[in-house]
Amino acid sequence: MSFQDKVLTCRDCGKEFLFSAGEQAFYAEKGFQNEPTRCRNCRATRKGASGTVSPDGGAPRSLYPAVCSECGKETQVPFRPTAGKPVYCRECFQRRGSAGARPAGRRSPAYLD
Ligand SMILES: [Zn+2]
Ligand SMILES: [Zn+2]
């Protein structure tokens, strides 16, 4: 079976990109059923944005999708959410931070004693 270079349209940016014979052979070898739907750029972008674990473990900026345990809003956190542990969106995190762990300023326990 021989392959020929093919031009596909990226579903994300709408640009045409080449699905080369070499890539097609690679896909066939891997048993992939579907042709790529996104250009190289968009694939790279999505990989980076979706928080896929990088093999080198060195991406400090990758965000993981999570649902806030407090308000139920969808959010992103810079760590992998652990099952059973609450995750907070930025707002709830800040609200809890200022109300809880470290009362700073106007709600100092010193005034209440
Ligand atoms: Zn694209
Ligand atoms: Zn929240």
The pLDDT score that the predictor gives to residue 111 is 46
The pLDDT score that the predictor gives to residue 49 is 63
Which ligand lies nearest to the CA atom of residue 70 in the structure? Answer: 2
The pLDDT score that the predictor gives to residue 99 is 60
How many A from CA of 57 to the centre of ligand 1?
26
Q: For tokens 């652990």, what's the residue?
A: 82
The pLDDT score that the predictor gives to residue 55 is 53
Kindly state whether residues 30 and 66 are assigned to the same domain: no
The pLDDT score that the predictor gives to residue 56 is 54
Kindly state whether residues 72 and 40 are assigned to the same domain: no
Query: In Å, how far are 68, 69, 87, 91 from 73, measured between CA atoms?
Result: 5, 8, 10, 10
Query: Per the domain annotation, does 92 fall within a domain?
Result: yes
The pLDDT score that the predictor gives to residue 73 is 94
How many A from CA of 102 to the centre of ligand 2?
19
Kindly state whether residues 45 and 1 are assigned to the same domain: yes
How many A from CA of 23 to the centre of ligand 1?
17
Residue whose C-alpha is closest to residue 96's, from 65, 64, 70, 63 = 70
Query: Per the domain annotation, does 67 fall within a domain?
Result: yes
The pLDDT score that the predictor gives to residue 1 is 63
Which ligand lies nearest to the CA atom of residue 90 in the structure? Answer: 2
The pLDDT score that the predictor gives to residue 2 is 84
The reply to whether the predicted model has a pTM over 0.75 is no
How many A from CA of 12 to the centre of ligand 2?
30
The pLDDT score that the predictor gives to residue 112 is 46
Query: In Å, how far are 8, 24, 26, 95 from 20, measured between CA atoms?
Result: 10, 6, 10, 52
Dihedral sign for Cα 107, 109, 111, 113, please: positive
Domain range for residue 82? Answer: 55-102
| Low-confidence spans in the chain with pLDDT less than 70 | 1, 49-61, 99-113
Query: Per the domain annotation, does 89 fall within a domain?
Result: yes
Query: Per the domain annotation, does 109 fall within a domain?
Result: no
For 103, the 3-state DSSP assignment is coil
Distance, CA of 12 to CA of 61 (rounded, Å): 23
For 47, residues 6+ apart whose C-beta sits below 8 A from its C-beta are none
The number of distinct structural domains making up the chain is 2
Which ligand lies nearest to the CA atom of residue 94 in the structure? Answer: 2
Chain-centre distance for alpha carbon 89: 15
